[in-house]
Amino acid sequence: MNALITDGFNRPLHDLRISVTDRCNFRCQYCMPAEIFGPDFPFLPKNEVLTFEEIERLAKLFAQLGVKKIRLTGGEPLLRRGLPELIRKLTLIEGITDMGLTTNGVLLTRLAKELFDAGLHRLNISLDALDENLFKKLNGRGVSSKAVMEGIDKACELGFHIKVNMVVQKGVNDHEIIPMAEYFRNKGITLRFIEFMDVGNSNGWNMEKVITKKEMYEILSSHFEIEPVDAAYFGEVAKRYRFKGSNAELGFITSVSESFCSSCTRARISADGKLYTCLFAGNGHDLRVLLRDGSTDETIKNEITSIWNKRADRYSDERNNHHPSKKKIEMSYIGG
C-alpha cells in the first residue's frame, strides 16, 4: 500500500504535474508573451531535460509516496518526440489511477489516436476565444481557433474525456464568455473559466485585468440557468456548476478571488527535473542531480518527503491579504 505524506498544513500529496518540455508552438500573452519568448529565446538544451526513463523513475517514486494522479504539461507536451512511449510507461505504474495531459490542441488532429492507443484518455485543452482574429492575436503566432476546435472534435470522436480551459482577461476576451459557454454546452464538453493569474513575471498582470468568478457567474446567469455541483474529491480546483436540465458542466478556477491554498495537493516537476511545491514558487528543488549522481530510490524518496513536509506555500492567500511581490517561475517552464 502506498504511503501518504502531508505538509505542515496537513495537505496530502496525491497530484503530480510533470512538464515534459519548456517549448511551445504558441506565444500567448498569458504565459509566453512574444516580447519575452521571441525566436532567439534560449530554451533548455536537450541534455538538461529529463529523459523518459528519469521521468518514469520519478513517477514511480511519487506513486510510492501516495500520488494517484499524473498530468503531463509543458510548454506544449505534444512537441516532445515519442510522447506516446512515455504515456505507455506511466499508465503501467502501480498506484497511478488517473493520467491526463494539458495541451493547446494544435497537434491533436495528428496525434490524438496514437495518444489514445497509448493509454491517455483525459485531456485539458486551452482555448481562450472562438473568434478567429482574437484567437490569432492572443496566441501570437497566427494560429487559427479552427485548428484547436478540429483537434477537440477529433479527440471527442476517439472517446477522450475533455475539459476546455479559458483564461479570461477583462477587456480582452471577456465578451467571449457566452459564445464559449454556448458552444461547449451544445457539445457536452466541460468548460472551465480561469481567472487571469499573476503566474511568472512577464504577463503584465494587475488586478484591474482580472474578471472574477463572481463577475463571470453573473454574466453566465443572465443567459443560462446554472446550478452548483458538489466537488468530486478533496483538492478539486474548479468550482463546478451544471447547466440546468443538462449533463454539461462548467467550472471556475478562482486562484485570485477565492484562493484554494488550504486544499492544494499538487506538486510540479519542471522539464529539467526541479520539484516545485506551488504554481507561484520562485525556486525549485533539484531532483535531476539525484537521478544522475547514483542516488538510491530511498534517498530520493526521503528528499521528496522532506521537501513536502516543510511545504508552507500559501501564495494566493498571501496575495489576497498582503499583495506580495516576488520573482516567480514562468508557467511555460513549470507547467499549469
Examine the pLDDT at 315 and tell me if it is beyond 80: no
Helix, strand, or coil (residue 227): strand
**224: confidence class by pLDDT, cuts 50, 70, 90:** very high
Give this prediction's pTM: 0.90
Q: What is the pLDDT of residue 245?
A: 86
Does residue 288 fall inside a structural domain? yes
Least confident range from 35-44, 80-89, 184-193: namely 35-44
Q: How many domains does the chain have?
A: 1
Instruction: Establish whether 316 is an annotated binding residue.
Output: no
Matching residue, cell 455541483: 229
Is 102 annotated in some ligand binding site?
A: yes
Q: Is 19 annotated as a binding residue?
A: no
pLDDT band, residue 239 (cuts 50/70/90): very high
- Residue 4 belongs to a domain: no
Q: Is 139 domain-assigned?
A: yes
More confident residue, 214 or 36: 214
Return contacts of 291-294, CB within 8 angstroms, 24+ apart: 291/50, 291/54, 291/57, 291/58, 292/54
Q: Which H or E run includes 98? A: strand 98-103
- Distance separating alpha carbons of residues 301 and 135, to the nearest angstrom: 43
How far apart CA 204 and CA 2 sit, in angstroms, is 42
Whether residue 28 is annotated as binding a ligand: the answer is: yes
Q: How far is the C-alpha of 184 from the C-alpha of 7, rounded, in Å?
A: 38
Give the domain range for residue 148.
15-334
17 is in an annotated binding site: yes
d(C-alpha 259, C-alpha 317), whole Å? 6
185 is in an annotated binding site: no
261 is known to lie in a ligand binding site: yes
Give domain status of residue 10, yes or no: no
Q: 81 among the known binding-site residues?
A: no
In a domain, residue 2? The reply is: no
Q: Annotation-wise, does 156 bind a ligand? A: no
* 30 marked as binding residue: yes
Instruction: Tell me whether residue 264 is annotated as binding.
Output: yes
Asked if the structure places residue 1 within a domain, the reply is no
190 annotated to a ligand binding site: no
Establish whether 75 is an annotated binding residue: yes
CATH assignment at residue 277: 3.20.20.70
